[in-house]
Each structure stands twice: as structure tokens, then as C-alpha cells.
Chain A
Amino acid sequence: SQQGEEDPQALSIQEGENATMNCSYKTSINNLQWYRQNSGRGLVHLILIRSNEREKHSGRLRVTLDTSKKSSSLLITASRAADTASYFCATDGGYSTLTFGKGTMLLVSP
């Protein structure tokens, strides 16, 4: 069963715009991670945020974590066509292993 649920399921934006994706989860976690998947390929780790952190940055990525609401958001600033991919949040904690949501499909048009 899925621990995290991403929202929206799909997002379409223009190059240069910001993209925000949200993740909600059910049980307490040790940390939350975001991954990216290009069509049909393996997932690539983007960023990890620990349960005692509230915000983290990596390049054009900004992740926030609100453990009281059991939610996280991923912001990609100044999107590029190359950012087109599916984005997944993953949690470990309640299920004692790394479980993924169903992902958000991001389409960035030139």
C-alpha cells in the first residue's frame, strides 16, 4: 500500500514558471525523500529532508516538510523542458522501509 500521495496527479506549465507538487503521508516518518523518473527509466534521488527539518534547498529545488500536517511540498523554480518527468515522494518510518506515492507527472512546455 502507498504511504505517500502526491498532488496534483499531473501538472502542465511553461518554461520559466515554477512548479509545486505536494505529498501527504499517513504515519510518522524518519525522513522524506523526493525522486524523479524520466519515462520508463529508473528513479533518481533528488533530495532528502529529515523529520526535524522544515525546509531544504538544492539548486532550483526547495522542499518543505510539515510533520504536524503530515505533508511535504517540492518546488522547482524556473522550470525547464528537461524537468519534464514524474516526481515521487518516498517515506520511511511507519512501514519500516522506503514506500512511494503514485507520483506527479510534470510537463514543461518550451
Chain B
Amino acid sequence: DSGVTQTPKHLITATGQRVTLRCSPRSGDLSVYWYQQSLDQGLQFLIQYYNGEERAKGNILERFSAQQFPDLHSELNLSSLELGDSALYFCASSVVTLGTEAFFGQGTRLTVV
């Protein structure tokens, strides 16, 4: 158990819908990362927050947004969903922003039908 909790574990929704994925980082970790993993794209970095502030942005679509709350949990919002958004979405956390290991949650498997 990494100490990172992601909910829900599975999500099936229709195209055009909006969903929210939630991540609770490991106790004491200030940095949260979101990644999308699909068979053809591999593990794509989406966005990183550190202590509530956006730290780095990767290949995140405009239809996607995220935030980190004062209690350090994070949410990833995916809207106007398309079939191609079907993937595993991982959250990871680390103590600081760089130079330390990241701890991954078990992921949310999103299926858009």
C-alpha cells in the first residue's frame, strides 16, 4: 500500500459527460502529480501541484482541469469526454517537488462509451 488513495477505481461514462477523479496523497506529501496511461501513448504527464499551487503542466487537454485543495487532496476534472479519453489515470505524490521518489495510487480506470 503506497498510502496514496484514488477514487473511484473504475468509472464508465458516456461521451460528452464530465467526471471528477479524486486523489488523497500520502500523509505529509506536498506534491501531487497526475498521469494518463493508455496503450498507445504510454504514461503521459498531465499536471503537477505543490502545496496548492500549480507547479508544472504537461500534455493536459483544455477539457481537463485539476486543483489541489488546502488539505492537499487533489481532483482531476475531465469534461466533454471522448472515446479517446478512455485510459488509466494515476495520481502520485511526493514529499517535495523534485529529487525524491513518487508514490503512486492504484489508478482510476476510465471507460468512455
B33 and A42 contact, CB distance less than 8 A = no
B33 and A98 contact, CB distance less than 8 A = yes
The residue that B101 contacts in the complex, of A33, A93, A95, with Cβ under 8 A, is: A33
The residue that B42 contacts in the complex, of A43, A95, A101, with Cβ under 8 A, is: A101
Q: Does B43 touch A at the CB level, under 8 Å?
A: yes
A100 and B56 contact, CB distance less than 8 A = no
B104 and A1 contact, CB distance less than 8 A = no
What class of interface size applies to chain A in its complex with B? 20 to 34
Closest residue of chain A to B50 (Cβ to Cβ) is: A97
Residues of B within 8 A of A102 (CB): 42-43
Would you give the 0/1 interface string for A45-63, flagging 1 where the beta carbon is closer than 8 Å to chain B? 1001010000000000000
Given A43-B90, A103-B42, A103-B43, also A95-B56 (CB < 8 A): yes
Q: Does A27 touch B at the CB level, under 8 Å?
A: no
B9 to chain A, nearest CB (A): 11
A65 to chain B, nearest CB (A): 14
Most buried by A among B48, B92, B101: B101
Residues of A within 8 A of B33 (CB): 97-98
Would you give the 0/1 interface string for A65-89, flagging 1 where the beta carbon is closer than 8 Å to chain B? 0000000000000000000000010
Given A40-B88, A43-B90, also A99-B42 (CB < 8 A): no
B48 and A44 contact, CB distance less than 8 A = no
Would you give the 0/1 interface string for B16-55, flagging 1 where the beta carbon is closer than 8 Å to chain A? 0000000000000000010100000011010010000001
B99 and A43 contact, CB distance less than 8 A = no
Q: Does A18 touch B at the CB level, under 8 Å?
A: no
A96 and B98 contact, CB distance less than 8 A = yes
A97 and B101 contact, CB distance less than 8 A = no
A98 and B104 contact, CB distance less than 8 A = no
Q: Does A109 touch B at the CB level, under 8 Å?
A: no
B53 to chain A, nearest CB (A): 13
Interface residues of B in 80-112 (CB under 8 A from A): 88, 90, 92, 94, 97-107, 109
B43 and A97 contact, CB distance less than 8 A = no
Residues of B within 8 A of A33 (CB): 101-102
